[in-house]
Chain A
């Protein structure tokens, strides 16, 4: 496999996880909680696509967006009381929500998995020279770049975006300076929902088998990316997601097949090393390090 091929594939996973990480980062910014249940948004979207298998694609997409955003807003409501508990307890609480949603999916659909029929044509590959590129890869990189650019513009050029960044940096101070707390929180969850819905569509093309833990294992690297990048800044969190996604895909392509099984260990080992060397993240600011 050529280097260019590996890089293109890695870019695709990198942009997906960057979008996931940005969603997690938005929520973390306003709530100070790493949301373990972010993956269940993807699962919800996947089941929405499954239920609309027979309907036109446009309807599927709209339903998927509606369901994911609705779940995201429901989480916003459920997480309100978490402001009063310690960060560790809040983390455990989101873990509980994640498991609850997974078991609901298990109750309804069982663990076997059901096939989503969403734009299967995008999964076919085009050959350019010795490169084999799937359409969905191109779509992923395009959508990723577009959304990240749009978010960057929104966060830097609009008052709401500025308020959101201020809230992410220091929620209390932002509030004192007149940022509308409730509006910013709801907006963060809506934006996280939109980003996650886009990721869901892209992932559903590549992996058309909806299972109860569909999103959980996909999002874990994104979650890790947020921590690796730096939770305190959205840019850092997003970059972290990209780095982890890129590295996962790239390393998986380049290492010999018999050690590929241990990829998880390499990635998580890398995470531990980063946490030790830079507890505020690779791209985070050096301040208030939570380390002994």
Chain B
């Protein structure tokens, strides 16, 4: 039987199409609203980066925003004009003061630094699972924030790093997100991705089949860290300024909420969750600033997200997509579906199909 090519490709093309549509709608919007569209796309890039590790490994991470932070500061510090850095940040290491690179180079640096940082952190932490992993990754987040806030040789300290070129327009945000999605998809369909997914669903069986779980997790963590760093670069070029509080608990909470609400098990879940929740988030953020005469008090945003996230976790523990990839919305004609086998073999086939259609429990 011939395997239809369109199906697996659609799992990437479908979500990509949605992203392109969102970006296209964004071009029609007025300036402040257009900023929200860009922000939604960048948030989605962060969530897909987070998904690359959490979704494939099944290990929770509260620490990915540290890679976003590392990427954001790397891109921000290298792209900020060299003539103002010595005066605003006199403590900074000399090479960080002198360096000044363009947009693309700063994004590449962000990805590289994020990946290297994730690799180093991952070597010890990837040994842990479950609650211990949750606490350990939270510890990474706390340490990263603490160091950036206080070690003024490598970060802005308590100050805000500003004057970063605002190069993340709709085009860069969309292309950046599509690139992150393509890499995440290529990874999950690769040998490595499949081995890690096997380890997620049944660790002993995976180990018995020769999967080195530690190595596969570390690979995913590093890739995911590099993507998160890159997304951090997009973020800093979107905002034009960055401080340590912007890449700490709130962002961790919001990105986790997006992933969980969408469904951590699939790329489609990550993208859909990010676009929907981030859209809602942007709407509420605007509402807090005031739409017309009505303005919602500050805190509405996090309150809504918190309640929504809790409800989804209880009612749909696998997210609104159920952890499934986007399926081709049109039924293929009967002829293309192949002839049904008959007789006892046919019954076996039917049973197998039913079994395969039923997803394994989480």
What residues make up the interface of A, taking CB atoms closer than 8 Å to B? 34, 78, 81-82, 84-93, 95-97, 99-100, 102-107, 110-111, 212, 220, 223-224, 227, 231, 261-262, 264-265, 268-269, 271-272, 275-276, 279, 290-292
Point out the residues of chain A lying under 8 angstroms from B299, CB to CB. 103-107, 212
Point out the residues of chain A lying under 8 angstroms from B302, CB to CB. 99-100, 102-103, 106
Point out the residues of chain A lying under 8 angstroms from B125, CB to CB. 272
B143 and A107 within 8 A (CB): no
Point out the residues of chain A lying under 8 angstroms from B209, CB to CB. none
Contact check: which of B129, B142, B297, B306 meets A290 at CB < 8 Å?
B129
Q: How many Å lie between the Cα of A250 and that of B305 in the bound state?
A: 39
A92 and B313 within 8 A (CB): yes
B314 and A268 within 8 A (CB): no
Contact check: which of A81, A107, A268, A291 meets B132 at CB < 8 Å?
A291
Contact check: which of B124, B136, B139, B313 meets A85 at CB < 8 Å?
B313
Asked whether A268 and B128 contact (CB < 8 A) given A85-B317, A86-B362, A93-B310, the answer is: no
Q: How many Å lie between the Cα of A103 and that of B125 in the bound state?
A: 31
Point out the residues of chain A lying under 8 angstroms from B149, CB to CB. 261
A97 and B139 within 8 A (CB): no
A97 and B124 within 8 A (CB): no
Q: How many Å lie between the Cα of A88 and that of B305 in the bound state?
A: 18
Q: How many Å lie between the Cα of A224 and that of B132 in the bound state?
A: 10
Q: How many Å lie between the Cα of A212 and that of B128 in the bound state?
A: 32
Point out the residues of chain B lying under 8 angstroms from A97, CB to CB. 306, 310
B135 and A93 within 8 A (CB): no
Asked whether A106 and B313 contact (CB < 8 A) given A271-B136, A271-B139, the answer is: no
Q: A87-B131, A96-B313 are in contact. List 10 more A-B contacts (CB 8 A).
A: A34-B134, A92-B60, A92-B313, A93-B309, A100-B310, A104-B303, A262-B150, A265-B146, A272-B125, A279-B132
B306 and A99 within 8 A (CB): yes
**B7-15, B34-42, B102-110, B253-261: which lies at the interface:** B253-261
B60 and A107 within 8 A (CB): no
What residue in chain B is nearest A90 (Cβ atoms)? Answer: B313
Asked whether A91 and B60 contact (CB < 8 A) given A96-B257, A107-B298, A272-B136, the answer is: yes
Point out the residues of chain B lying under 8 angstroms from A86, CB to CB. 317, 362
A78 to chain B, nearest CB (A): 8
A85 and B132 within 8 A (CB): no
Asked whether A261 and B150 contact (CB < 8 A) given A100-B303, A268-B143, A290-B132, the answer is: yes
What residue in chain A is nearest B149 (Cβ atoms)? Answer: A261
Give the B interface residue count (CB, 8 A): 49
Contact check: which of B62, B124, B131, B310 meets A227 at CB < 8 Å?
B131
Digit string of B283-304 for contact with A (CB within 8 Å is 1, else 0)? Answer: 0000000000000011111110
A240 to chain B, nearest CB (A): 12
B310 and A96 within 8 A (CB): yes
B303 and A107 within 8 A (CB): yes
Point out the residues of chain A lying under 8 angstroms from B228, CB to CB. none
B305 and A107 within 8 A (CB): no
- Whether a CB of chain A sits under 8 angstroms from the CB of B127 is yes
Q: How many Å lie between the Cα of A99 and that of B305 in the bound state?
A: 9
B283 to chain A, nearest CB (A): 16
Point out the residues of chain A lying under 8 angstroms from B124, CB to CB. 272, 276
B131 and A272 within 8 A (CB): no
Point out the residues of chain B lying under 8 angstroms from A264, CB to CB. 142-143, 145-146
Contact check: which of A90, A265, A291 meets B128 at CB < 8 Å?
A291
8 interchain pairs (CB within 8 A)? A82-B314, A90-B313, A103-B299, A103-B301, A103-B302, A261-B146, A271-B139, A275-B132
